[in-house]
Amino acid sequence: MVKKIKATLDRRVVINKILEKRGEALVVTGLGSSCYDVGAAGDHAKNFYLWGGMGAAAMVGLGLALAQPKRQVIVITGDGEMLMGLGALATIGTQGPRNLAIVVIDNELYSETGMQPTHTSRGVDLAGMAKAAQFPRTGTIFTEAQLKTWVPKLYSPAGSTFVAVKVNNTRYPMAIRLRDGAHIKNRFREALLGNAAFD
C-alpha cells in the first residue's frame, strides 16, 4: 500500500525532465497519454511509440534491452497499461537486464476512457510489486526533489529499475501525429542499426 499523498507533479514536466537527459538511450512508450507526452517532449527516431497493444510496453522494453545490452532502454508508460501486463514484472525480474528502466506515470486513472480510477488509486503498489519481482531498484516518486535524484539512476545500467511517478490528473492534447506503426518501427531500426536494418 502506497501512502496517500496528494499528487502534484505534472506528467509532461516529469517526462521532459527525464527525457532531457536521454543521451543515447532508447525509449519505448505505452499507449495513450504516455505516448503523447513522450512525443510532446520532442519527437525522436529512437522512440518506439505504442499506439495500441495495451500491456505490451514493458515486454517490448525487455526484448530490446536484451538485444542491445550496451544501450540504456527506458520504458515510459501509464498505470493502467502496466496493470494490464503485470506478469511482465515477474519475467523481467527473473531476467534482470541491467540496462532496463520502467517509468510508470501514475495518475491513478484511465485517462483515455473517461478518467475511471485504476487499482493504484485503491492502494495497489506497483513499485512494491516490482520489488517483490526482484527488481533491484524500485521507488515511488511524489516530489521534484525525488525525481531529481532518480533521473540519473534511470540512465545508469546498474540493474533493472522500476519507478512509479505519482502525477496529478491534468490531461493534455495529442501533440504527436506520427502513428503509422510500420514507419515508427522502420525509422527506429534504421536510426539504431543503420543499413543493417534492411538485412
Partner 1 sequence: MKPQKNPATWPHDIYEVFKEVGIRQVAYVPDAGHTQLINSCHADREMKVISLTSEEEGVAMLAGTWLGGQRGVMLLQSSGVGNCINLLSIMNECRFPLLMIVTMRGEWGEFNPWQLAMGQGTPPALQHAGVVVQRVDHAEEVREHVFAAAQLTFNTSRPVALLISQRIIGFKDWSK
Tell me which residues touch partner 1 (CB under 8 A).
Answer: 26, 28, 48, 50-68, 85, 87-88, 90-91, 94-95, 181-182, 184-185, 188-189, 192-193, 196-197
For partner 1, which is the closer residue by CB, 1 or 199? 199
Give min distance, CB of 154 to partner 1, in A: 18
Give min distance, CB of 20 to partner 1, in A: 23
For partner 1, which is the closer residue by CB, 3 or 70? 70
For partner 1, which is the closer residue by CB, 52 or 123? 52
Q: Locate all alpha helices (DSSP H) within the chain, ordered by sequence.
A: 11-19, 33-40, 57-67, 79-84, 87-95, 126-132, 144-154, 181-193
CA-CA-CA-CA dihedral for 175, 141, 9, 177, to nearest 10: 0
User: How do 100-106 and 47-49 pair as beta strands?
Assistant: unpaired
Give min distance, CB of 172 to partner 1, in A: 24
For partner 1, which is the closer residue by CB, 95 or 170? 95
Bridge partner residues of 101 (DSSP): 74, 161
Give min distance, CB of 22 to partner 1, in A: 16
Instruction: Give the dihedral sign, CA 67/162/24/34.
Output: positive
For partner 1, which is the closer residue by CB, 48 or 110? 48
The DSSP line for 50-82 is -SS-TT-HHHHHHHHHHH-TTS-EEEEEEHHHH
Cβ(37)–Cβ(15) below 8 Å: yes
Give min distance, CB of 169 to partner 1, in A: 27
